Amino acid sequence: MRAAAQYYKLSADQGYAPAQYGYGICLERGAGVAQDIVAAAQCYKLSADQGYALAQNSYGMCLDIGDGVPQNEFEAAKYYKFSADQGNAFGQCNYGFCLEYGRGIAQSSEEIAEYNERSAAQVYVLAQCNYGCRRGVQKHGYVLKCRSGVQKYEVEAAQYYKLSADQGNAQGQYNYGRCLQYGIGVDKKDVAKNLEYAAKYYKLSADQGNANGQSAFGLCLHGGIGIAKDVICAVTYYKLSADHGNAAGQYAYGFCLQYGEGIEKNLNEAVKYYKLSADQEKYFWRKHDYSQIFLIDDDQIERNPREAHKYYKLLADRGDASAQCRYGRCLEGGFGVDEDFEAAVKYYKLSADQGDASAQYMYGRCLEGGIGVDKDFEAAVKYYQLSADQGNCHARFKLIILGKIRP
């Protein structure tokens, strides 16, 4: 590798665009030369500015994630488009992503100015990865933060995804399948046909080893979406995706293990895969499934309220109403945590005020009995009524006992 890097450099120093790109890869990966991300980005730019499509995509990715250069989604989209319009499948896929989510697609000079003012404080990281081994994506994680109110170009996005997909790009195949399945930028007249083609594109992606494609094709097989239902085969694809580290695949495989769908029931293995999924920040809401499995009465698994409460709290503090109610119950009952009635009331109220019927009942009960809060009969009735109006039978029974409604 050292000799290859030296020859790339000799040629790159003479201005040969493919060699500049090749030497940039060596610098980025530390292959045959000391790793230098800044110098790698500079090489990509030199090559890109000579019109070399592969380098245009790579320099776009540097700009997109702030790898070796200041992060700039507008410049990133520009270079992705340069690459895409030369027919590069990776560029087409990445530019399609920009179009779909309105990332870096300038609406006005004012928008660019606004972005530049806050670009140092806010990083918009690429939420899909054609180059799974890219250092920058591993460093930042798969996090998508889209600005509100931004215009999206879904029809154009789908077109670029299809161009990429039809060149055999696995991520492009997955993204175009997603467009077909959910009607993003495509003709919606024949939904059944769209779903059939979505399954085909997902399979093409999956069979190239793309973890997103494997998970999505598994879901098609599991639910009979665009293809004959085959739960056993679905589990095979979920497992492939899960073992690539894909959170959706980990969750789906855990689900099948928990309920014995397409595979022998195994709660211990389900716990393992739910936890892998739950611990990925992008999928924090999946902590619910991981938490609840520790409260199941089953000989296969030891109940562990402390582990359950830990994840309920993580979710509760992120504003999840159901988790707030569940965590409140843990606090009130001392399940996996020390009893704390005042803290329990706090979480019940947070959840109740988001409309959770169980929490409205629990908060009403606390108000009525003065549990962790001063007694307030009128407020208790109010929350019982809110809960009962959503069909909570406990709240309705309380209102009957209190003489507020007739049986």
Q: What is the pLDDT of residues 274-289, one digit of tens each?
A: 878 877 754 443 444 4
Q: Is residue 313 part of a domain?
A: yes
Please say if the pLDDT value at position 270 is more than 80.
yes
Q: Which of 265, 295, 325 is where one domain is finished? A: 295
pLDDT for 152: 66
CB neighbours of residue 133 within 10 Å: 8
In the predicted model, what is the mean pLDDT of residues 79-84? 94
Q: Give Cα separations from 210 to 165, 195, 251, 267 (angstroms).
A: 12, 19, 17, 27
Give the structural domain span for 224.
Answer: 208-295
- How far is 270 from 289, CA to CA, in rounded Å? 10
Out of 230, 263, 295, pick the residue that ends a domain. 295
Residue 329 domain-assigned?
yes
Judge if 364 and 277 occupy the same domain. Answer: no
- pLDDT tens sequence across 87-98: 999 999 999 888
Please indicate whether residue 203 or residue 304 has the higher confidence score (pLDDT). Answer: 203
Residue with token string 């307030």: 376
Ranking 40-54, 144-158, 356-370 by mean pLDDT, the lowest is: 144-158
DSSP string, 45-81: HHHHTTT-HHHHHHHHHHHHHTSSS---HHHHHHHHH
Structural domains of the chain, count? 2
Q: Give the pLDDT confidence of 7-37 residue by residue, as tens digits.
A: 899 999 999 999 999 999 999 999 999 999 9
- State the pLDDT at residue 259: 79
| Mean of all residue pLDDT scores within the chain | 82
Mean pLDDT of 386-402: 88
- Whether residue 362 lies inside any domain: the answer is yes
Please tell me the least confidently modeled range out of 109-123, 171-185, 230-244.
Answer: 109-123
Examine residue 328 and state whether it is found in any structural domain, yes or no.
Answer: yes
Residue 360 pLDDT greater than 80, yes or no = yes
Instruction: Examine residue 163 and state whether it is found in any structural domain, yes or no.
Output: no
In the listed set 295, 324, 358, which residue is the last one of a domain according to the structure? 295
Q: Please say if the pLDDT value at position 56 is more than 90.
A: yes
User: The whole model's pTM is what?
Assistant: 0.65
Reported confidence tier of residue 305, pLDDT bands at 50, 70, 90: low
pLDDT above 50: residue 135: no
One domain, residues 320 and 245: no
The CA distance from 345 to 278, in Å, is 26
Instruction: Tell me, yes or no, whether 287 and 331 share the same domain.
Output: no
Indicate whether 94 belongs to any domain.
no
Domain harbouring 277, CATH code: 1.25.40.10
Q: Specify the pLDDT at position 298.
A: 41
Give the residue among 281, 205, 211 at the shortest CA–CA distance from 245. Answer: 211
Among 227-236, 296-305, 330-339, 356-365, the least confident range: 296-305
| In-domain check, residue 366 | yes
Contact between 311 and 284 (Cβ < 8 Å):
no
SS3 34: coil
Asked whether residue 115 is domain-assigned, the answer is no
Tell me the mean pLDDT in the region 56-64: 95
User: Where does residue 266 rank: exposed (0-12), middle (13-18), buried (19+ CB within 10 A)?
Assistant: middle
